[in-house]
Structure 1
Amino acid sequence: MTKLLKLTMAVALLLGAVSTTASADARKGQKIFIKKFKAKCGFNGAKFAAKHSQAEWEEINEAGNFKKEMMTICPDVKESDIKDSWVPHLYDFSYDYANDSGNVPSC
């Protein structure tokens, strides 16, 4: 019984950790944009996110071109400036505040 309990707890802990890291956060993406990219882009996150509709952002992200599109919109941003771990958060921010979302970020 002790081995079963330990195994169950280990699986629960692992699933909790995986689900936490797999979920992205638009608010975190907004904070990253403000801190790291607002000055380099020359405009705020609202203008960045409004460059595309939600469907367009989704298509860009699914194609794996989010970094490339970010560098197109903000020419002063280099690929090395964008950490891979930030992309899901920046994508969620862009998607949530796209030009057809009806949402307006506070940055």
Structure 2
Amino acid sequence: MKKIILTAFSLMLAFNASADVDKGQKYYLKYLRPHFEYNGQDFASQHLKVEWKRLFKKDSARFIKEYSKKHPESKEFLESDTFQKIAPDVKDFAMKYAADSGELASCN
């Protein structure tokens, strides 16, 4: 019985700790689109899934470097604590609608 309860509890924690595609889409539209000016689909389809994964490794260092260079006005936000908090969700959004995903984002 203890094993069942512990397993259920650990599964609940795992699901709560994971990022959220829908939140990522909302965060992209609210925080990043004003800086980047791409609609959600154009943003997400800039890279393949494996490329997005690489860009968001190590506190999103490569993402920050690439997009700060493309959009210098976004550098301050990309280096903020707020961005670090939303980055996992934005990553999931970008990966779900990546160039090689076969899915289209429904956000403008």
Q: Which of 24, 27, 33 is equivalent to 2:22?
A: 27
Pair 100,73 (structure 1): closer, same or farther in 2 beyond 3 Å: farther
Q: Which residue of 1 aligns with 2:72?
A: 75
Q: Which residue of 2 aligns with 1:38?
A: 33
Structure number with bigger Rg: 1
Q: Distance in 1 between matches of 2:38 and 2:55?
A: 21
Aligned pairs for 1:1-107 (under 5 A) are 15=10, 18-63=13-58, 64-65=60-61, 66-77=63-74, 78=76, 79-80=79-80, 82-107=82-107
Q: Which stretches of structure 1, 4 residues or more, deviate above 4 A after TM superposition?
A: 14-17
Pair 72,47 (structure 1): closer, same or farther in 2 beyond 3 Å: farther
What is the Cα-based RMSD across aligned positions, in Å? 2.6
- One-letter amino acid matched to 1:38: R
Q: Per-residue displacement from partner, 1:16-70 (whole Å, max 9, x unpaired)?
A: 7743441101110000011112121111111111111011111222354233334
Would you say how many aligned residue pairs link Structure 1 and Structure 2? 100
Q: Distance in 1 between matches of 2:85 and 2:12?
A: 15
Whichever structure has more helix as a proportion of its residues is 2
TM-score under structure 1 normalisation?
0.72
Q: Distance in 2 between matches of 1:26 and 1:55?
A: 16
Runs of at least 5 residues in structure 2 that lack an aligned partner in the other structure:
none
Q: Distance in 2 between matches of 1:21 and 1:54?
A: 23
